[in-house]
Structure 1
């Protein structure tokens, strides 16, 4: 087994021209393996490396790609990215606004959500294309000199007196002071090391997404309520938006073809006015359209096993109702690094991380599922708006 000699490791810090720099090093660990190169994994690798930990990042995709349309970035999510030092490139590449407007599905304006600025100089909300966000984070990973290995996952993990012995899918071995599972809702790390946990559970809804040109006059995020299939629009750049729609999920024997995706979404939008109607009337078969069923899970505690710990969707997978999946992952990555920095040993740091994150993640997941139930039960849009505003207000609290 290959072991890494901690005495010979050099401590690293963020470049001096970076807008955020971690103040202290983590003294209890020198090496870490982060499994999963998505938002949570990259945020964890960045946070640990900035605090002096020699971090390796692995991802199963040999091309390290990401698929998807846009992503809504709420004020709390922007705050988390600011802590990572990535706010400015996100603002430059995405779209920033100060409000979200609520409409009845026919285009009748209901009211605007209160979205206060939660920190000086921090935008209230915004959006960005998911592949663009990943490229911004990947650039930061490379800038920090983090070791990245692709086409790789873990097949065995074993805690010992000094860390975690790791067997990789290519047959190689390693040894690390800490292993972080950030490998999505279908986490291999969770399956190997956390037998008390299980896969996320279906919520009964599915989510449609389409990337399309920006409707003329759109100047804020938009929600369309009061229909059995609520939808919304988020600007992701000067000329680009993505629209989402939530529908009751129906099991199918096969994936829908591109033609089926197009024709079905167009039909689902038949009753909508406003910019949602504009999307229906202007969508073409060249637009990227996707559908997936929704599932969520707040994994039972503990979230750590020895020196193995979970972050992001591996521990707290949510639905898109509060646009907070990415934000929760980034927050968890930051909190993990902060608590390890403050703690006298790894065990107490992991316990403090879990204690600090559990209730906040539970609130996001329970509120998101609750909004989905209101939609499935065809409750009035005012009930939907009240639950949404309450949850978003709580998200503004410090994490």
Structure 2
């Protein structure tokens, strides 16, 4: 069936937007991506990825590039702060029998892989450009850009992130991002030989871990409870992160602590979440990814569900008789899965903050992993 939307604009060139461009171009549709950053940059350290994300990479056609430039392995090792191992979390091989069940990669590296695939798809990318007005009419959306140009599209996809301007324009009453009471620290460090897969040390109030992102690098992550969402001077990052690691006497954690200095690549981020109740579209403008379901990293699935949005939206546009039907069916397929990830991740954070039931924490992780293993 011919897609009811032949000419599509994607506002936002992040992971979800690029994935949408790649999948829609496979149908031969005219696709433009408007990205406000003239450098098309991606910030951050490493990103952990589960089997469902690797399965999505396979669908996009970028799994081979990820395997060459990132790191993949089976299982996650869990330890007490002094180093005693307490469990191994299994990670089912969802992307195929030959592909490990999880992995990690540097965010800028993954962004470059997706950007290269977006360009190779034939999508037109407009950098340093975004919209100033969206005017809907019977057959589409008239978009005015910051460069003064005005164009018409059959469909506009808002993929401009947590603080989406598209969401603000078309769903002004939608809920807003909420701070969760936790923050995460990340740092890129040399990878010791013994770090073969994700490893996590669980303390009474602080959780830390490492995950390989390439053959010679890993990223360190530390989750900290912090009642107030306050700015921190980057000059304090190294000393504050070092202090958080002090209670973890495990040799590898102390090795990480010793490696931190003022030149270390450290990222601090307060954790926010967002779940917008459906509908996620208004007329011929639809929202995907963090614009409607931004999650904390507790299930390592934020990028996953955003990329899955793109895949499902492309599938529905390829089979529906109308744009409205495609968007309604897209939302029906995505709601429960995305709600589960956002709410379950948020609940894990609540349990960690309050020192709640560890059995509930473990059960939520198991149930969520099992649900994510199901086809999208």
TM over 0.5: yes
Q: Which residue of 2 aligns with 1:346?
A: 323
Shift in CA distance, 320/26, structure 1 to aligned 2, threshold 3 Å? farther
Residues 1:94 and 2:70 are matched in the alignment:
yes
Structure 1: distance between partners of 2:213 and 2:366: 22
Q: Which residue of 2 aligns with 1:390?
A: 367
Structure 2: distance between partners of 1:342 and 1:382: 43
Kindly state the Cα deviation for residue 236 of structure 1 after the two structures are TM-superposed: 0.3
Q: Which residue of 2 aligns with 1:64?
A: 40
Q: Which residue of 2 aligns with 1:143?
A: 120
Question: Does structure 2 retain, via aligned residues, the 8 Å contact 1:298–1:317?
Answer: yes
> Aligned runs of 1:196-215 on 2, under 5 Å?
196-215=173-192
Structure 1: distance between partners of 2:220 and 2:2: 42
Structure 1: distance between partners of 2:116 and 2:81: 40
Equivalent residue of 2:292, what SS? helix
Question: Does structure 2 retain, via aligned residues, the 8 Å contact 1:226–1:378?
Answer: no
Structure 2: distance between partners of 1:132 and 1:269: 27
Q: Select 2:240's aligned residue among 258, 264, 274.
A: 264
Q: Which residue of 1 aligns with 2:110?
A: 133
Shift in CA distance, 383/283, structure 1 to aligned 2, threshold 3 Å? farther
Q: Which residue of 2 aligns with 1:107?
A: 83
> Aligned runs of 1:353-372 on 2, under 5 Å?
353-372=330-349
Kindly state the Cα deviation for residue 27 of structure 1 after the two structures are TM-superposed: 2.4
Kindly state the Cα deviation for residue 114 of structure 1 after the two structures are TM-superposed: 1.7
Shift in CA distance, 236/254, structure 1 to aligned 2, threshold 3 Å? closer
Q: Which residue of 2 aligns with 1:318?
A: 295
Question: Does structure 2 retain, via aligned residues, the 8 Å contact 1:36–1:60?
Answer: yes
Residues 1:334 and 2:311 are matched in the alignment:
yes
Question: Does structure 2 retain, via aligned residues, the 8 Å contact 1:179–1:308?
Answer: yes
Equivalent residue of 2:148, what SS? coil
Question: Does structure 1 retain, via aligned residues, the 8 Å contact 2:181–2:229?
Answer: no
After TM superposition, the structure 1 stretch with the greater mean CA deviation from structure 2, 164-173 or 361-370, is 164-173
Kindly state the Cα deviation for residue 253 of structure 1 after the two structures are TM-superposed: 6.1
| TM-score, normalised relative to structure 1 | 0.91
Kindly state the Cα deviation for residue 384 of structure 1 after the two structures are TM-superposed: 2.9
Shift in CA distance, 231/382, structure 1 to aligned 2, threshold 3 Å? farther
Deviations 1:255-298 (A, max 9, x none): 3133x000000001101133323211222222211111111111
| TM-score, normalised relative to structure 2 | 0.96
Q: Select 2:352's aligned residue among 357, 368, 375.
A: 375
- Structure 1 alignment gaps of length 5 or more: 1-24
Residues 1:193 and 2:154 are matched in the alignment:
no
Equivalent residue of 1:58, what SS? strand
Question: Does structure 1 retain, via aligned residues, the 8 Å contact 2:181–2:228?
Answer: no
Deviations 1:60-115 (A, max 9, x none): 11111111101111100000110001101000100110111111122110110021
Q: Which residue of 1 aligns with 2:275?
A: 298
Question: Does structure 1 retain, via aligned residues, the 8 Å contact 2:199–2:211?
Answer: yes
Kindly state the Cα deviation for residue 342 of structure 1 after the two structures are TM-superposed: 1.3
Kindly state the Cα deviation for residue 379 of structure 1 after the two structures are TM-superposed: 3.1
Shift in CA distance, 123/198, structure 1 to aligned 2, threshold 3 Å? same
Deviations 1:303-350 (A, max 9, x none): 011110001000111011111111111100000000111111110000
Structure 2: distance between partners of 1:63 and 1:112: 41
Equivalent residue of 2:176, what SS? coil
Q: Which residue of 2 aligns with 1:54?
A: 30
> Aligned runs of 1:206-245 on 2, under 5 Å?
206-245=183-222
- Structure 2 alignment gaps of length 5 or more: none
Question: Does structure 2 retain, via aligned residues, the 8 Å contact 1:185–1:200?
Answer: yes
Structure 1: distance between partners of 2:232 and 2:246: 23
Equivalent residue of 2:305, what SS? helix
